[in-house]
Amino acid sequence: MSIDDIIESFGLLDDWEDRYRYLIELGRDLPPFPDSARTAANKVEGCASQVWLETRVGPGPDPVLTFVGDSDAHLVKGLVAVLLVLYSGRPASEIRSTDALQVLDGLGLREHLTPQRSNGLRSMVGRIRAEAERALAAA
């Protein structure tokens, strides 16, 4: 699944209840998150819900980052799924230049989220981009 698939599916859904259900389904489709990865280091600060992101960094001058994530809230888990589709498996330089908030605004998503969830979403994006910066600096 690509971000274009998600955008297309969103476009086919007329009301926000259906879009919320779709996000929840995306979250349910995430691979299981290992209990051993539910650590303070993997916890995303700034989220009202519990959110964990684990990062794996590949070798090379522009390392590919792979993310796995989870949340204890169904809707937030769906947001995690969207961010993983957008960012996971991509080179650090591409992650750094991809504006997830612009993509999500294109879906009309952020205007339908509570302020707390919007802040949490910004925290998740910030964490992913910071991981990309660290990977580039270490390469």
Cα 106 from chain centroid?
A: 16
Cα 85 from chain centroid?
A: 7
Q: What is the Cα Rg of the chain in Å?
A: 14
Neighbours of 122 (CB within 10 A): 15
Identify whether 47 is a catalytic site residue: yes
Could you tell me if 78 and 105 are in contact, meaning their C-beta atoms sit under 8 angstroms apart? no
Catalytic-labelled residue, pool 6, 47, 95, 124: 47
Read off the tokens for 95: 């992650």
Active site residues: 47
